[in-house]
Structure 1
Amino acid sequence: MNAFKSARPYCPSALSLALATILAGAVAPVQAQQGSDATTLDTVVVTANKRVENIRDVGASISVVGERDLENLGASSLSDYAALIPGMQVQNSGSPGLTSVSLRGISALSSGATVATYIDEVPVGSSGIYQGAGGLMLDLLPYDISRVEVLRGPQGTLYGAGAIGGLLKYVTHAADPGPPEFRAGFGVRAVPDGGQAWNARVGASLPLRDDRLGLRVSAARNGLPGYTDNAVDGRRDINSGEQTGVRAALAWDGDAVDMNLAVLQQRIRSDDRASVALDPDTQAPLFGDLTGRTWQRQPFDKRLTLASLSFDWDLGWGSFVSATGWSDTRTMDQIDATVQFGEVADLLLGLPEPGAAFVRYDFDLDKITQEFRLTSSTGGRFEWMTGVFYTREDARQSQFAWLGQRDGTPLPPAFASFATLAQLALPSTYEEIAVFANGSWRFNDRFKIDAGLRQARNEQWFSQNVSEGILAPIGDAPGESSENVFTWSLSPQFKLAEDTMLYARAATGYQPGGPNVALAGIPPSVDSSRLDSYELGLKSQFAERRAQLDLAVFRIEWDDIQVASSFNGIGGLVNGGEATSEGVELAAAFRATDQLQLGFNGAYTRASVKNDFDPTVIPQDGFDVILNTGLGGDRMPYVPRLSWSATAEYAFATSGGYDGQIGGALRWVGERLNDTTERQRVTAPGDPSTVLDEVVTAPLTLDSYRALDLYAGFGRDRWMLRAYVNNVTDEGAWSSLTPVDGAVSGARVQLAGVPIQPRTFGLEFDYRF
């Protein structure tokens, strides 16, 4: 949430034998089975329902990306593999960690996230609206990760707040008290006409006591080669950076009680963000294909520390689980705001020329969670689960806007008091307690019904503390809110044959609201968004389990959508209105021979605003401004109507004991829009029928694109050498587009385009012993 808005507001303002795992859409992942029949597709387990289950038996749309897939793709962020997951879109704002994620057309239109994030049993990221969760999704460095599970559709009954569009779950490697294992690796990657970077990783799993106690430790460093330049100061490859991570996990395998303790720390650091300056009319680069124009540096830094402790007590007839989590997340994001606020220097202060400006956001989030679950044993006619969940967030957002002269020097002494355009803090708390229950009744071998419910209550407090500046009123303005939320799900499932299941699913979800910023025309609080989802799916394996075809159709009704509303660079959140999303997801995988595996997936999504968003009335001196931030029929931002991917992999082995694989993925993403339509009307005071002026701003169009990724691996026994080329044809396309307008004049100076990753070469070597 912003008391003021700038270029990218935090409003309340990225293939092994199992490449086809990435193809699972409404689809389950596919892997080569290790056994006597090497041409069948393997069984994959997930924990979507907080039980270990065969993905083919879960009546919901789930995708899984495995560890080998991430390695072969050279994945370092969500953007590297998201396009291969049907219905999932990632909007990159210039660095890993500066990402928004949407599933099935449920876009992040506000500062709150629409996709919840878990690491194992622990939720991470904020449920509130003051930590920019919608644009700062966790982008975990995928090392020491067993798999990534993506659950589409609302997951409110088991995962609660923020899972309105679905769930992104990172499942780490557990500590193993069994045989010791060691691993080390090194790699390099480069962008032609750009930078080069190196990465290194090491991990070990060690038994400590009587095959009962195990320790796992790992550390990784991943370099991010830069590839964009800056026209203002001539700097090259400015968006370089690095990701680092360390993890330690301890596991006790007892007779009745198992225990897991883990500590993880990850950091993303980017020197600047990838951004290209574009002509606002033609979208042609103003200074070169990968050249931006900024007067102030735009560093980004995010650090996550997570500690988790879980106990699983086997009661014989069931189990009792306790999952405790504590996380500390600190984020710094600085953006160049010269175009937006630099004109304050000449248009308001009367200086000879515009100035330079930047806005720095600092987010500090301290979060604790506790969940207790009582679960029946698996395999009976009636399976059930009941539990209670508690979380508390103590958070602080700080915003600092600075104004200087165009060359970066301070303002003249007579204007020094205007150097700080805004200095404010937004401390907040979020506290929630919820009870939930899930059950599954098997009527016979073919038919069962799953059902769930959750009752939650959250209480929030915040204060808008403005200590200095001209962009927001000086003073403290506290606010608070509370709400009770009930969500439910129902999923009947029918087995048409042993390997074919037909299912239906109806479910609800919500995105928490909260107290709002204190600004004229902005309501004192924003209500939670609610969502109803209806899905019909088919999961089938045939041809002696060598082929897999999964299909899902869905319709979603979204109400009280939280949207950003701003005027003259100042903004907050409002409840806009309604939207719908409907579509079809298909995925197929076929193991043609022992060596060759093919896959295809696709998604068609039609997501749009149902009616004009409710207007925000902003009183001014002598007139009113009536602002609509979306009009009926608008498409939801960054949601292509059609997207698909096709993959192929050939595995081989030589008589000399060497083996390897060659594969590739072709992905296509359709045309998208960057925003909804904004309509601004100037009316007589208190008389909305007398329109004095009207300005309608249409969204920008991002063209469709396709990209080809290739990889190869070769090894023997304990070592493996891998090579990959991502975006082989060096396709030029945009991940996101942002208009850059003057906050005072309203003049559009340029567009800021974040390119998809250009052609990138990588070489990796791993040794296990």
Structure 2
Amino acid sequence: MNAFQSARPWYRKQLSLAIAGALACAGVPALAQDSPGADAQSSAGTADAATNLDTVVVTANKRVENVREVAASISVVGERQLENIGAVSLSDYAALIPGMQVQNGGAPGLTSVSLRGISAMSSSATVATYIDEVPVGSSGIYQGANTLMLDLLPYDVSRVEVLRGPQGTLYGAGAIGGLLKYVTRSPDMATEEARVGVGVRSVEDGDQGINLRFGATLPLQQDRMALRMSFVRNDIPGYTDNAVDGREDINGGEQLGARTALSWDGDAFDLNMAVLHQRIRSDDRAGVALDADTRQPLSGEDDDLAWQPRPFSKELTLASLSLDWDLGWSNLVSATGWSQTDTLDQIDATVQFGGVADALLGLPEPGSSNVRYTFDLEKFTQELRLSSKSGGTFEWMVGAFYTKEDAVQAQNVWLGQLDGSPLPVPFDSMFGTLALLTLPSTYEETAVFANGSWRFGERFKLDAGVRQARNDQWFSQNVTEGILVPLGESPGESSEDVFTWSLSPQYRFSDSVMVYARAATGYQPGGPNVALPGIPPQVDSSMLDSYEIGLKSQFADRRVTLDLAAFRIDWEDIQVASSFNGIGGLVNGGAATSEGVELSSLFRVGDNLSLGVNAAYTKTEVKNDFEPTVIPQAGFDVVLNTGLAGDRIPYTPKLTWTAFGEYTFSTAGGLNGQVGAMLRGVGSQLNDTTERQRVTASGDPSTILDEQVFAPLELDSYRALDVYAGIGNGRWELRAYVNNVTGEQAYSSMSPVDSEITGARSHLLAVPIQPRTFGVEIDFRF
């Protein structure tokens, strides 16, 4: 193996930043099935919400429907519940949704989301994101969608809908694992309303922050037209320190959000226009440096190792226009969206590339390095759909969808001295920029779809849907400066036709008990690949088939809700990143299965007490050794497998659960309030699949000269307790919460930090779950 290592030129080892980084892109991943818990855990007024659980509506099938009549697994987290627990990011409420996992990369917006074990193992996402009628985020493979999921600050959001299982027929590309949908608040046509609030949030052994919020609705024409405006600013308190330079609470930052919406309710048509802007800025990211062998903190429980700053920022501007035209016999809906997303993500690469300074340039000590990624995405979408009126024996919908993405990813790799100053002359001008490259890309998709629902009597219903889509993509790898990657332009393009379908029969035993089955397919778009030995010119779409049976029930005078779902998913042509010494791209690895059971329950004990349990058991398994990538070398071949048969899918604990309770009360003075708690448990999980690296005789894979196997890292299981309370009279409300009451020390994600020069492992970088956090908020309504 030593001869093999010495045969590798040093600069080839550094392509991890330029090629694998380009593709793997800086990341290599209601309380119940329906929404009963979402409203049942709200506030004063909870009694009504809990008694009338069946009034919750969703738009999963692009119609307004009773959630308990939809033959699919849907979770809804309501506005009041988000407020009660002080939610400011996806990580704060992920435990409320069975089967959903959120990996925090150290700041809001550095987020990976998976559902039912369908984790992103490439550079594109497996969960689609919508804001109302408009998809946001990239469907392509060059915008880091796997680790840069939209993490919307949930203010002025009426609810968050999560659909588990593939949603390819109605929501198309990227919804292979499911859908995350933010439903914003609509203007009230009849009543003026204003709300202003302030809050304080403090992290134990960390910083404090203030949040400010404002929202108002102004009817402009009674029962016809109304305007809504909102603004929110939230400080992100820092809580991790940097052992290298002594800085404390380095991961602080802020979130800003603003929205303006105008609605018109006409006789023939309804019109909704909105502009939303959100900005996330983090000075650095949360992290703890762990010993690679003992998994214990190297410097302190909250200390990281960073020689270079790691700022992160993300700005989203979304303009949307929707028209619902009542044609009498049907409704025509037009949904138009335009969004601009600008992201900056800088990582510390000192361990990886700092050794260039002494090992190659002959300087007396290693240097420091950073990699600065920028992602610019402009996205336009247009959907037209014609649908029948609801409530008939046969309901139908036909539609067409178009999207166009123009995107640019840029990477700048900087090398300096260990103290952060430039390299000495003349090395600064010659080697200060190790690589400078841009990756412009386009993604264009056109699709047609149809959906139908047949009712056979009062008890049986059959839903079916189909979608035919075509995407055309182009990209170019343009290297203009540096010594790590050959200079020049390397373009590529691809085209795909994809067909998806769904079938969902359901049977109602009574108004309160329904069983259903659902079979559906979904896909994750492929795209043009980098031009490298052993890497195919195009990676194909990942496809999956999902099979589900479920029960939705209420009994004991609708005081008990019990929902169950069992599923099996067959996943094929899984997109995975394959790289050797930094040279890499995407390949279609192989197949895997995910199967499990989900439980959602709510028990109304008396008029004031609600108790519930949610749980998910998910078993995932790679069915075969992933397809090998063969990288030819001078005199030998390198054969890579990035997953082996029997592996678990990354970041998929076998068991997750949440137990919750809430007590509501009223006082003689006219005050209403609530006290609640939530205990969440997450089982152990792995950060990756197993990687096997073989050196074989050139052209003879049966002659193995050397073999190394790299096992994934295991993250331990944990439990965390959250509590909250609130009181108010309708005009004002005071709320308080404590999240992670016991101060549980656990990790959301973990990755090794290795030198690309020597291969030596420096340490592990782990992102902790939020430490014990205290919050107090007060709101006034006018």
Q: State the TM-score bracket (shorter-chain normalisation).
A: over 0.9
Q: How large is the Cα RMSD of the aligned pairs?
A: 1.6
The question of whether the paired residues in 2 share the 8 Å contact of 1:7 and 1:340 is answered with no
Mapped contact 1:343–1:354 kept (Cα < 8 A)? yes
Change (3 A) 1:633 1:37: closer
Matched, 1:640 2:653: yes
What is residue 152 of structure 1 aligned with on the other side? 164
Equivalent residue runs for 1:226-625 within 5 Å:
226-416=238-428, 417-625=430-638
Deviation of the 1:501 alpha carbon: 0.6
Counterpart position of 1:18: none
The question of whether the paired residues in 1 share the 8 Å contact of 2:122 and 2:586 is answered with: yes
Mean CA deviation greater in 40-49 or 139-148: 40-49
Over the matched positions of the two proteins, sequence identity in percent amounts to 71
| Closer/same/farther in 2, CA of residues 574 and 36 from structure 1, 3 Å limit | closer
Alignment check: 8 A CA contact 2:276 2:318 kept? yes
Classify 1:279/1:310 alpha carbon distance in 2 versus 1 (closer, same or farther; 3 Å).
same
Structure 2: distance between partners of 1:378 and 1:597: 33
Does structure 1 retain, via aligned residues, the 8 Å contact 2:99–2:116? yes
Shift in CA distance, 252/243, structure 1 to aligned 2, threshold 3 Å: same
Which residue number in structure 1 is paired with residue 31 of structure 2? 22
Matches within 5 A, 1:82-93: 82-93=94-105
Cα pair 1:26 1:63 within 8 Å, conserved: yes
C-alpha distance in 1 between matches for 2:163 and 2:247: 42
Distance (Å, rounded) in 2 between the aligned partners of 1:282 and 1:36: 52
2-structure distance, mates of 1:229, 1:294: 10
What is the CA–CA distance in structure 2 between the aligned matches of 1:210 and 1:147, rounded to whole Å?
A: 26
**Deviation string for 1:115-160 (max 9, x for gaps)?**
0000000000000000000110000000000000000000000000
- Quote the offset at 1:357 in angstroms: 0.4
> In 2, distance between residues paired with 1:498 and 1:30?
20
Q: 1:37 to 1:80 in 2, by over 3 A?
A: closer
2:9 corresponding residue in structure 1? none
Q: Spell out, residue by residue over 1:542-594, the C-alpha distance to the aligned partner (whole angstroms, 9 max, x if none).
A: 00111000000000000000001112123211110001000000111011111
Alignment match, 2:639: 626
**Structure 2 unaligned spans of 5+:** 1-15
Query: Aligned partners of 1:648, 1:28: CA distance in 2, in Å?
Result: 10
Question: What is the one-letter code of the residue matched to 1:645?
Answer: T
Task: Please give the secondary structure, in 1, of the residue aligned with 2:351.
Answer: helix
Work out whether residues 152 and 167 of structure 1, in 8 Å CA contact, stay in contact via their aligned partners in 2.
yes
Distance 2:299 2:505 in 1: 57
Aligned-pair CA distance for 1:429:
0.3
SS in structure 1 opposite 2:40?
coil
What letter corresponds to residue 107 of structure 1 in structure 2? S
- Closer, same or farther: CA 527–640 of 1 in aligned 2, 3 Å: same
Report the CA distance between 1:38 and its aligned residue: 7.0
Shift of 1:311: 0.4
The equivalent position to 2:729 in structure 1, one of 706, 713, 716, is 716
| Structure 2 partner of 1:17 | none
**Aligned counterpart for 1:112 among listed residues 124, 145, 164:** 124
Which amino acid is 2:608 matched to? Q
Change (3 A) 1:718 1:697: same
The CA deviation at 1:632 is 0.4
Aligned mates of 1:444, 1:175 — CA distance in 2: 38
Aligned partners of 2:190 and 2:222 also within 8 Å: no
SS, match of residue 91 in structure 2 = helix
CA distance in structure 2 between the aligned counterparts of 1:343 and 1:608, rounded to whole angstroms = 38
Residue 19 of structure 2 aligns with an amino acid whose one-letter code is F
Q: Does 1:67 align with 2:79?
A: yes
Report the Cα distance in structure 2 between the residues aligned to 1:106 and 1:641, rounded to whole angstroms. Answer: 13
Q: Does 1:702 align with 2:706?
A: no
| Residues 18 and 435 in structure 2, CA contact (< 8 A), matched pair in contact too | no
**Alpha-carbon distance in 1 for matches of 2:345, 2:585:** 19
Structure 1 pair 125–494 and aligned structure 2 pair: CA distance change class (3 A): same
User: Deviation digits for residues 697-743 of structure 1, max 9, x if unmatched?
Assistant: 00000000000000000112300000000000000000000100011
SS state at 2:617 partner? strand
Structure 1 residues 640-696: Cα deviation after superposition (integer angstroms, max 9, x where no partner): 000000000000000111110000100000000000001011122222222111110
Q: Is the 8 A contact 1:26 1:537 kept in 2?
A: no
User: The residue matched to 1:71 in structure 2 has which SS?
Assistant: helix
Q: Distance in 1 between matches of 2:22 and 2:647?
A: 22
Number of aligned residues: 762
Residue of structure 1 in register with 2:234 after alignment: 222
Q: Secondary structure at the match of 2:55?
A: coil
CA apart distance, 1:386? 0.3
Relative distance call for 1:619 and 1:352 in structure 2 (3 A) is farther
1:158 counterpart SS class: helix
**Superposed displacement of residue 394, structure 1:** 0.3
For residue 682 of structure 2, what is the amino acid of its counterpart? V
Partner SS, residue 413 of structure 1: coil
Q: Is the 8 A contact 2:19 2:530 kept in 1?
A: no
SS in 2 for 1:339: helix
Partner secondary structure for residue 86 of structure 1: coil
Gaps of 5+ in 1: 14-20
The one-letter code of the counterpart of 1:245 is G
8 Å CA contact 1:560, 1:577 repeated in 2: yes
Mapped partners of 2:619, 2:378: distance in 1: 38
- State the match for 1:135 in structure 2: 147
The SS at the match of 2:359 is helix
What is the rounded CA distance, in whole Å, between the counterparts of 1:146 and 1:198 in structure 2?
22
Contact in 2 for aligned 1:676/1:699 (Cα 8 Å): yes
Distance 1:716 1:556, change over 3 A: same
Give yes or no for contact 2:605–2:611 (8 Å, CA) kept in 1.
yes
Q: 1:494 to 1:738 in 2, by over 3 A?
A: same
Residue range with higher mean Cα deviation, 683-692 or 418-427:
683-692
Please, which of 642, 647, 670 is the counterpart of residue 657 of structure 1?
670
How far is 1:206 from its partner? 0.2
Letter in 2 for 1:339: V
The one-letter code matched in structure 2 to 1:45 is V
CA distance in 2, matches of 1:623, 1:503: 55
**Which is further off, 350-359 or 447-456?**
350-359
More moved, 643-652 vs 340-349: 340-349
What amino acid maps onto 2:377 in structure 1? Answer: L
Separation of aligned partners in 2, 1:271 and 1:178: 43
CA separation of 1:93/1:35 partners in 2, compared to 1, >3 Å: closer, same or farther? closer
CA deviations on 1:31-58 (whole Å, 9 max, x unpaired) are: 3888989745342100000000000100
- The 1-side partners of 2:649 and 2:543 are apart by 16
Equivalent-residue separation in structure 2 for 1:87 and 1:35 (angstroms): 28
Of 186, 198, 203, 1:186 maps to: 198
1-structure distance, mates of 2:296, 2:671? 49
Matched with 1:197 is 209
Amino acid at match of 1:123: P
Paired with 1:35 and 1:700, the residues of 2 have a C-alpha distance of 46
Measure how far apart 1:412 and its partner are. Answer: 2.2
- Opposite residue 612 of structure 2, the aligned amino acid is G
C-alpha deviation, 1:25, in angstroms: 6.1
2:49 & 2:151 partners in 1: Cα distance? 37
